[in-house]
Structure 1
Amino acid sequence: MGPTKAPEPDGFPALFFQKYWHIVGKDVSKFCLRILNNGDSFFSFNQMNIVLIPKTSNPTKLGNFRPISLCSVLYKVVAKTIANRLQAVIER
């Protein structure tokens, strides 16, 4: 996850979590584990913005844009953990 690759919808880039992990790490871990292990609601963080990035210097058609989704860091952590858990099951 790039530390400043794209701004997140919640306003906190990955760099914030990396730099202040000693302060927020315990709360982030608890939050993610509650979602993964207890099935707590993830609705408030399961929102993202879709942004169109121009492929050319003067885009004139929709095809000249590349869509990207801006997800929160917490969403990315939970999604990556789920993907890793599924990968262990799928590879059997």
Structure 2
Amino acid sequence: MTLSFFQKFWSVLANDIMAVISSFFHLGQLLTAINHTFISLIPKIPNPSLVSHYRPISLCNTLYKQILDNVMIAHDYLHFLNGKHKGNNRLMAIKLDMSKAYDKIE
């Protein structure tokens, strides 16, 4: 389900989602189904006959794949790199545009 689905039906889903997240912080356990990913093969051409004629697409659960989490991780990583500039041991980060590297379905 997409983020727009969760936004549209947040009034219905909010209590259940917040209960799952709260139980994670109190018990340290998360429902295993949240971590499941489905892989689907999308045909690249009409009437595909070989495996190479398909494009694999990962369908991740939206709760598991939150963009905000990635932003926070990137922020923490850049903050760490900013403090590591002593001597000849230097670190760097490279920004990649992953939307150009992979096909996507929206």
Q: TM-score, normalised by structure 2?
A: 0.56
Taking only aligned residues, the RMSD between alpha carbons, in angstroms, comes to: 2.4
**Number of residue-to-residue matches in the alignment:** 77
* Equivalence for 1:7: none
Write the mapping of 1:4-83 to structure 2, written as runs, cut at 5 A: 13-14=1-2, 15-32=4-21, 35=24, 37=25, 39-77=28-66, 80-83=67-70
Flag structure 2 segments of 5+ consecutive residues without an equivalent: 80-106
- Distance (Å, rounded) in 2 between the aligned partners of 1:90 and 1:66: 32
1:87 to 62, 68, 74: 74
CA displacement at 1:19 relative to structure 2: 2.0
Deviations 1:49-83 (A, max 9, x none): 11000111121221111101112222223xx3432
| Larger of the two Rg values belongs to structure | 2
Bigger RCO of structures 1 and 2 (CA < 8 A, at least 6 apart) = 1
- Distance (Å, rounded) in 2 between the aligned partners of 1:70 and 1:59: 21
Q: Which amino acid aligns with 2:35?
A: N
Flag structure 1 segments of 5+ consecutive residues without an equivalent: 1-12
- Distance (Å, rounded) in 2 between the aligned partners of 1:16 and 1:45: 16
Q: TM-score, normalised by structure 1?
A: 0.62
Q: Which amino acid aligns with 1:91?
A: L
CA displacement at 1:34 relative to structure 2: 5.1
